[in-house]
Amino acid sequence: MKAHTSTSGPQCRHCTVPVDGSGDTCAFCASYTPPATVAQKIDVLVNRVDIIRSDGNEILRGLPADSPLFAIADLVSALCHLRQAAVLLDRANDVLEADAAVVRR
Ligand SMILES: [Zn+2]
């Protein structure tokens, strides 16, 4: 007889990754703390945008010299928008943090 689940052992109660039986939480979940505040969440978002931007810049640099100009222009434009997105997220974060500071007083 075969079980329907692919894992037979105990699983992490947070992410269902198999654990070795010495608890109900895997190593990742045991040390992971999710971003708590909006400011921290936006910080994470900005970091992700930066990673995407750097990926995009790498693609741009790797394009062959005879690539279609309109495609290059669109790619450059998209990267500029991503930079703007990071700037706007930072600005929103500053305002939110200032606002939260006022509330705490
Ligand atoms: Zn887990």
Main-chain dihedrals φ then ψ at residue 18, nearest 5 degrees: -60, 135
Total-model pTM: 0.60
**Does one domain contain both 21 and 62?**
no
Amino acid at residue number 77: S
Shared-domain flag, residues 73 and 99: yes
> What separation in Å is there between the alpha carbon of 6 and the centre of ligand 1?
16
> 28 and 64: one domain?
no
Question: In degrees rounded to 5, what are phi and psi of residue 6?
Answer: -80, -25
CA of 34 to the centre of ligand 1 (A): 13
Residue 19 Cα to ligand 1 midpoint, Å, equals 8
87 near 50, Cβ under 8 Å?
no
- Which of 34-43, 45-54, 91-100 holds the top average pLDDT? 45-54
- For residue 20, the SS3 value is coil
Q: Are 18 and 1 in contact (CB under 8 A)?
A: no
25/72 same-domain check: no
Domain extent for 62: 34-104
pLDDT tens, residue by residue, 39-72: 888 998 999 999 999 999 999 999 999 999 999 9
Distance between Cα 73 and ligand 1 center (Å) = 43
